[in-house]
Structure 1
Amino acid sequence: MNAIQMAAVDGLTIAKRNVIKIKRVPDLLVFTVLSPIMFVLLFAYVFGSVIPMEGISYREFLIAGIFTQTVIFGSTFTGLGLAEDLQKGIIDRFRSLPMSPAAVLVGRTTSDIIINVISLIVMSLTGLLVGWRVRTSLLEALAAFGLLVLFAYAVSWVMAVVGLWIRTPEVFNNATFMIIFPLTFVANTFVDSSRFPTVLKAIADWNPVSALTQAARELFGNTNSAMQVSDAWPMQNPIAATLLWIVLLLVIFVPLAIYRYQKAVSR
């Protein structure tokens, strides 16, 4: 068995361990699912009545942004789990086992895909209840969900680096909160970014969160010709921009996460 096969097999074992952990600590999954549901209800019924949208229901406009925010927050479990395992000494136990060094990272990021898929299913059902509808084909809708999951997987590797660098779960939670909230709000997730001031609009147009959200909206058919779309390249080509961001994040952060992991376990 070569190194790649070993990493894959051992990674699946670690992923199974992480999924079992969720089963034994259901509070983790419950609050992960309840949080985005709360966002949908608050934005749909509180802000939806006062935020006008041209040619489309605000609830349909909203859901793609909620999906994006949800999978990004779901990706933080990678870094949080690694920080907890380091703090509790579980990583030291893994070192004593005959397993691939990359298995912990592969397993952690893979298990988070499962969490995000569950969250997206619950969010989709919630969205349908508040008035969201898919206006395109089944294949296009599946492509939208696929982009969301792939982007979340790439962000999981970013969170792995942060978790291995910070190493303290409490500090990790505070740090990611301070990063993710501005990233998801200075974007087209909840409002039309064309209404932003000039500087914020430029940031939002080139924000990867905006590209993913716009791509999901187009694939779900939650857009309208009356809506203003920025001339910025990512907004004109959101699917291509999202795929480029996914590749870029993986190319940079997969080797960086492996390096940080090796450095962390060598202490």
Structure 2
Amino acid sequence: MSYAQDTLIYQGFLVTSETGIMYPYKLKISQENSNIEGFSITNENLDNETTNKIIGSYIKKNKILELKEKHIVETSSTESLKNFCFLQLNLTMKKKELKGSFVGYFKDSTICSTGDVLLIEDKVIQKKIKKLEKVIPKEELKKIQNEINKHVIDKNEPNQVVDITEPLSNNDIFSASFSDPFTFSVWDSQKEDGDMIKVLVDDRVLLDDFVITNTKHVIKFYDYKKTSYFKIIAKNVGSRPPNSVNIELKSNKKEIQLQSKLDSSEYVYIKIN
């Protein structure tokens, strides 16, 4: 990186470790000495587009950028601030690319996501597009872009987010349907107090004597058509009753947020249609 204050633009994707979902991501940054500041843009021109103020540093010896999203500048999302995931990025510069990893944190400092980052300097991308326009008809380029968008986020079919604020209690049954692979996550969003659970999937033990923490425990279900139900059983009530578990079912098209509050040996069902 140069030591001038010219703005550099990089764009590419974030890929989450939990689901493998790709999110468009752009950096607009400038450097003075070893200090970096600027903005990050997630989902540009798509639903839930969000711009964050970003700060960090450049370690010249190792060509490493350490960046941190500080606060939201602008967003089209209607989500509560407590549900936003602020990223810390560790990136290595190689020619015109930035590659590395990220860890996302909620405002209460609990981890909300992890994954990989691949960004390319915008000037390089624009040059390649101009070259392609000379040899590929615009109609074909549009088709290629549409195919790429299918694997990122469909602008006309945004993620359906279902947030059930009323906690599930003993013997409650919640029904959900998925038309693509999904992940099942459990964690404790409150103070960790030793809450222990058992999870069954179609009578098969998935987790037993499992102590939930503030870190999401994520399990992927690729063969979604063969998954019928989840049963979450409280094995104790921890040191701060009741046993409270945050549950998330998430696919490319749908995200369901649930919470259960149970006494020892009580359980809830999640039925997959």
TM range (shorter): under 0.3
TM-score normalised by L of structure 2: 0.27
| Larger RCO: 1 or 2 (CA < 8 Å, sep 6+) | 1
Work out which of the two has the higher radius of gyration on C-alpha atoms and give 1 or 2.
Answer: 2
- TM-score by length of structure 1 reads 0.28
Query: Higher helix proportion, which one?
Result: 1
